[in-house]
Structure 1
Amino acid sequence: MALLARYQCPTPFHEVRTRFLGNIASPVMAASPLETLKQLWGGELPEFDSMEAVNELLNALIAGLWNRLAEHQSSRNPFRLIRFEVAQTREGVKHLALVRRQELDGFVEGLFGPEKHINLPERAHKALGVLAEIRAMLAGVINLLDDSSKPAEPDDLKDMVRNIQKLTIIVETEMNTAILSCTRARRQLLEQIPATKPTLH
């Protein structure tokens, strides 16, 4: 996204998507779109030349991207990771594995927010366990391809791409399971929050 590049956002767009998505699904009731937005730049928004520039960013990322991602809280509209052409080279396959790993990291970061521990529904907890295993596999692929002393024949690279594509489908399935599970749990929690009638003056 051009706006992220303009303000030198250190978080790549594919990770922004999953970080927002995780935060949307998060059972952390204090989760805030603005706070998540700040975290894309390490905790503080970049400097802006005008209020118009601030509004442009907020409209694009919160009113636009955030709200579109919020639609994935329905089983009728499952979330999909980004797709792109992958060069059948060492660097190309490593880039694919890195993107998928960053997407996973973003989702977990968004889900947990500033918390180290959160209570998750059982299905979401299991889904996170699967995602953690896949993240470890992707990290292994990246480390392997980073090591130039380890051979990577064309057929090996093709197999890696094929396997990462299979993992991509599993990641999407588990992410969507976690999203739906957390969404249901949060809805139930909101229904149970007691309300006190305000004093009317």
Structure 2
Amino acid sequence: MPNTTTVAEIGALLHKYQCPLSYHAVRTRILGSLARYDSVACPLSVILRFWDGAFPDLANFSQAHDVYQALGVTLWQELSKHRLSHEPFKSLEMSLTPLSTNLDVSGMVRVQEIEGFIAGIFDDGEETELPWPAFEAVTHLGDIRTTFFGLSKLMKRASETPGNIDKIAQIIKHMAILTSVMEVEIHATVLSCWASQKVVIAQPRLQQNEWWAWREPSLLNVTDHGSLAVC
């Protein structure tokens, strides 16, 4: 598969091999893995986790190559650029109008983008260490995720009630503003972790009190709250 792989092609590949994650969640999960300050992410190990640790059934080496080329090379390289300050992260583009169908799904896409990013940073664990700026940004992302979850429910109710065009338009506007904030917080996390990763490589003996652990035992449960602890 050439390096000109498109979003549609990657989405079709994920669907073909029954990946439990959609393209938008795969994308942010890779970005979260790239942002981890304490290790060098291995593309293959990250990709395997999309299928719960085991590669999908593939007929031959060519198919395995296509999957790795699309996710571990093309998409990986595309997302790596966001470790630069002048390459801000942008969420999956969605063109919404009050007359669009399944409007509530758009809010859940943002929820899943945040969940994918956090899962990548936490490496599927329950605890990780973050530099303070990244900790603040991740905490804000938790709040943003909860808000998107609520907006999705609000959008669903509004869409099911006739004559709510103005209300739906207002919700779409709020979601667009919140998406911009989400993008800023994700990029801030990536920049903070990447800067710290370079420091760790150059000077591994950092004082423990310069780092914080952020725990989220059940990220998928919107009623749970993370707890803050000093390392």
Q: TM (normalized to structure 1)?
A: 0.89
Out of 137-146 and 149-158, give the one that drifted further.
Answer: 149-158
More helix by share: 1
1:10 aligns with 2:8: no
Out of 63-72 and 37-46, give the one that drifted further.
Answer: 37-46
**Equivalent AA in structure 2 for residue 56 of structure 1:** D
1:22 aligns with 2:45: no
SS in 1 for 2:128: coil
Q: Which residue does 2:125 correspond to in 1?
A: 115
> Which among 168, 174, 184 is matched to residue 173 of structure 1?
184
Q: Percent identity?
A: 29
Does the 8 Å contact 1:4/1:13 carry over to 2? yes
Q: Which residue does 2:221 correspond to in 1?
A: none
Paired positions, count: 194
C-alpha separation in 1, matches of 2:93 and 2:159: 30
SS in 2 for 1:120: strand
Residue 7 of structure 1, CA deviation: 0.7
**Equivalent AA in structure 2 for residue 109 of structure 1:** A
- Say if 1:19 and 1:67 are closer, same or farther in 2 by CA, change over 3 A: same
C-alpha separation in 2, matches of 1:16 and 1:101: 13
The residue correspondences of 1:31-180 to structure 2 (distance < 5 A) are 31-89=41-99, 91-146=101-156, 151=161, 153-180=164-191
Does the 8 Å contact 1:124/1:181 carry over to 2? yes
Does the 8 Å contact 2:155/2:168 carry over to 1? no
- Say if 1:71 and 1:90 are closer, same or farther in 2 by CA, change over 3 A: closer
- Say if 1:28 and 1:91 are closer, same or farther in 2 by CA, change over 3 A: farther
More strand by share: 2
For each residue in 1:3-35, what CA deviation from the matched residue of structure 2 results, as whole angstroms up to 9, or x when unmatched?
Answer: 112111121101111000000001241643222
**Equivalent AA in structure 2 for residue 36 of structure 1:** V
**Equivalent AA in structure 2 for residue 181 of structure 1:** S
Residue 48 of structure 1, CA deviation: 0.6
Residue 130 of structure 1, CA deviation: 0.9
SS in 2 for 1:119: strand
